[in-house]
Structure 1
């Protein structure tokens, strides 16, 4: 049984003994608390630092959010820090992107699907168009883009896809089928698509790089007709080319013949009997065998032509020529 006394009496244990209350060392408690606090800081500092560290890789930007909403701050590539308690970031790629709609399975963004844009031409013919849009996020407008789309997938489905389908169908309806598959027709489709997308992109933080009309797929029957027409055209062109070559060859031969005839005419006019006789005499010295043309009266023709008659001088010349010929033959 316990007996308690009032005032400053010392408590009595059940066995009748008494013990004093031990003194508390406040300095020791404060020291231990300080050590624990320092340990917590040492442990937490790297964790907090790691959570606050926000590096941004090349080709990307990060939109800073505060309490879950875009704050308007954008981190460019490099090292950055945030308040991990109230802030967070979302990474956006600023590298070029490509969105393709194609009839070839596995070629477009929707795999294993014929995703070409089907349009009606001015004359009511259905045509499929394959197209690629190349674009990128504007880093200066990254906050605006993030607020509207959050990412490129949503932008492709909500902006690019419906816009390009609409503009191509409108523009294709102004073109006949005979023009839409030509280079001129595809240029018109591309220009219309770029103009429309450029306006939409400027409002939503995107940069349009280019629009590529990759292919215009005509209906099978019409494609065969166009192909046959092209083959006929090529054959006709080939025949025309062959005729042109033949004509050029005939002109060449005609010009060559005219040139040869003119040369013969000039030569004929320049060669009189005296010139021929002189050339004949010159040739006598170049050969051992001499053939002397004889006229109707037995005189060498060139002698009669030179002397102009068959008198005594002609006879003497004939004798000399005969002797000379005999001598040449004997020498031979």
Structure 2
């Protein structure tokens, strides 16, 4: 007769105890995993929209650590950092890898290509509305930003002539109109418009050549004008200088009276060893006769007729 014990019977109370033990063991093992799944970190520059059973709850997690119910709740991350959307004719500059400039018609019917950049960001306070409408920024760029900027620039460019659209003033008008229209659209969709930048306005080739030639002609005209102004200033300077010399000569001439000349002559006598004294007809030095007379004709004639004799006498005196 065998002495081995008989196996325990699986009575209902034993089966219940086994099930409870298994459940407890499963909970103990899964608790750390569930804790990790409930931990929801949010990085700086991002927010997370909280959903329950796939539908938004209206709750937004800011940067930091948050707990969620891993069974019923989930989150979707959105970047709230500044974004930019560029449309450019240069390949590699914009979101589209081809010529993506906005082509518009000006008021006078000429085609112009415009490169533009829209700078924006998601409004963290309206992240739920943005998520409901677009889910991602890429979708918002395709469905909102791209068609809106094309529409407003085409409308505004149609009000400007080609002679104005490429100027700084014309580009400012395009920029302000785009910022006004896009700003209103963005407010309703959870976006904040930071700026619209008109990067370049490409004119038709034939018109660009005409504008360039006009600029060259204008520069040459301005250069000639500057040269004429310089010549005029130089002529005015010479005229003023000549007038000054004439006035100076007139003043000197008026100041050289007989008395002044005689005084200067007497002063010079002390500065030389050889002296020449012009003698008049009556034996007087010529300058003395001029001082005594009033400049009459007879004195002048006498002085004139005897000047050579007086000069010879003085020369002889000087030689002796």
| Shorter-normalised TM range | 0.7 to 0.9
1:233 equivalent to 2:218? Answer yes
Q: 2:87 matched to 1:101?
A: yes
Report 1:56-67 matches (<5 A). Answer: 56-67=42-53
Instruction: Quote the offset at 1:19 in angstroms.
Output: 7.7
State which of 281, 305, 328 in structure 1 corresponds to 2:266: 281
Q: 1:82, 1:88 within 8 Å by CA — same for their partners in 2? A: yes
Residues 108 and 291 of structure 1: CA distance in aligned 2, closer, same or farther (over 3 Å): farther
Please name the residue that 1:176 is paired with: 161
CA contact (8 A) 2:269 2:275 kept: no
Which of 51, 55, 68 is the aligned partner of 2:37? 51
- Residues 282 and 225 of structure 1: CA distance in aligned 2, closer, same or farther (over 3 Å): same
Whether the aligned pair in 1 keeps the contact of 2:103 and 2:111 (CA below 8 Å) is yes
Structure 2 residue aligned with 1:264, among 226, 249, 256? 249
Q: Kindly indicate whether residue 66 of structure 2 is the aligned counterpart of residue 80 of structure 1.
A: yes
Task: List per-residue Cα deviations over 1:48-68 (Å, max 9, x = no partner).
Answer: 332222222222222112222
Q: Deviations over 1:13-58 (max 9, x none)?
A: xx3x67887999x9xx98xx889947953x5444333222222222
Change (3 A) 1:283 1:72: farther
Deviation of 1:270 after TM superposition, in Å, equals 2.7
Root-mean-square deviation over aligned CA pairs: 3.3
- C-alpha distance 93-303 of structure 1, shift in aligned 2 (>3 A): same
**3-state DSSP class of the match of 2:179?**
helix
Match of 1:95, SS state, is: coil
Q: Is residue 2:232 matched to residue 1:247?
A: yes
- The alpha carbon displacement at 1:192 in A equals 1.5
- Which residue of structure 2 aligns with residue 313 of structure 1? none
Q: Kindly state the Cα deviation for residue 132 of structure 1 after the two structures are TM-superposed.
A: 0.8
After superposition, the Cα gap between the structure-2 partners of 1:19 and 1:191, relative to the gap in structure 1 and judged at 3 Å, is closer
- Cα distance in 2 for partners of 1:295, 1:214 equals 95
Shift in CA distance, 117/277, structure 1 to aligned 2, threshold 3 Å: same
The 5 Å alignment of 1:71-220 reads: 71-111=57-97, 113-220=98-205
1:5 corresponds to: none
Matches within 5 A, 1:6-21: 15=1
Structure 1 CA distance for aligned equivalents of residues 49 and 68 of structure 2:
11
* Structure 2: stretches of 5+ with no match in the other structure: 294-298, 303-309
Counterparts of 1:44 and 1:82, CA distance in 2: 16
Q: Does 1:292 align with 2:265?
A: no
What's the CA shift for 1:184?
Answer: 2.0
What is the CA-CA distance between 1:302 and the residue it aligns to? 3.3
Structure 1 CA distance, aligned partners of 2:183 and 2:164?
25
How has the CA–CA distance of structure 1 residues 138 and 274 changed in structure 2, closer, same or farther, with 3 Å as cutoff? same
Deviation, structure 1 residue 153: 0.6
Indicate conservation of the 8 Å contact 2:87/2:116, yes or no: yes
The change in CA–CA distance for 1:306 and 1:86 in structure 2 (over 3 A counts) is same
Bigger Rg, which one: 1
| Distance in 2 of aligned mates of 1:188 and 1:303 | 90
The DSSP-based 3-state class of the residue aligned with 1:248 is: helix
Give the alignment's TM-score, normalised by structure 1: 0.77
Separation (CA, whole Å) in 1 of partners of 2:3 and 2:107: 114
2:95 match: secondary structure: coil
TM-score using structure 2 length: 0.80
Where structure 1 has 5 or more consecutive residues not aligned to the other structure, the ranges are: 1-14, 311-317
For residue 305 of structure 2, what is the aligned residue in structure 1? none
